[in-house]
Every structure is written in C-alpha cells, then in structure tokens.
C-alpha cells in the first residue's frame, strides 16, 4: 500500500484548506490547529470560558476555508486542540 501526499488548493483565492487532503471519492480536508491559551492576548478569554479559544480557532478556519471546500464538493474537518 502506498500513500501519496498531495498539496491541494481550491477556490478563487487558491487557498490550502487542509494540512491533510484525502482524495478518495468525495475529497476530505483535515486542518490541524493547536491553540496556546497562555498567549497574552488569549489568556483572559481562556480563563473566563473553557473552550473559548478552540471555538475562536474553529470559526477562523471556517471563515477562511469552508466555502472553498464546499465549492469543490468536499468535507472540512477542523481538528482543534
């Protein structure tokens, strides 16, 4: 079994919506985001609400990539930690 890694860009802005692209049938895009809640600009938000920084990360990924992934008939999976 061989694994091929392919960089895939889509949409009019030619963005790369996923760190991992799986082209089997309907394309799947997996995007990995690691959030550091100890950053000075995020520490207060993280202290007030559990998961708030992860939610901000998901919304950011959606606003950048979801529309272009849906335009090519793909599925977009955000893996936020």
Q: What is the pLDDT of residues 25-81, one digit of tens each?
A: 788 888 888 888 888 888 888 888 888 888 888 888 888 888 888 888 888 888 887
- The closest alpha carbon to 76, from 36, 12, 32, belongs to 32
- Give the domain range for residue 49: 20-80
Structurally, how many domains does the chain consist of?
1
Establish if 36 belongs to a structural domain: yes
Q: Is residue 50 part of a domain?
A: yes
Position 13 pLDDT exceeds 70: no
4 lies in a domain? no
Evaluate whether residue 43 is within a structural domain.
yes
DSSP per residue, the chain: ---------BTTTTB---SEEE-SSS-EEEEEE---TTSTTTHHHHHHSTTHHHHHHHHHHIIIIIHHHHHTT-EEEEEE-
């Amino acid at each position: 079994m061989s694994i091929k890694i392919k960089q895939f860009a889509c949409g009019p802005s030619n963005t790369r919506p996923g760190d991992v692209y799986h082209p089997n049938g309907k394309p799947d895009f997996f995007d990995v985001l690691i959030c550091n809640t100890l950053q000075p600009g995020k520490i207060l938000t993280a202290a007030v609400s559990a998961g708030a920084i992860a939610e901000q990360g998901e919304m950011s990924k959606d606003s950048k990539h979801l529309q272009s992934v849906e335009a090519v008939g793909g599925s977009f999976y955000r893996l936020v930690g």
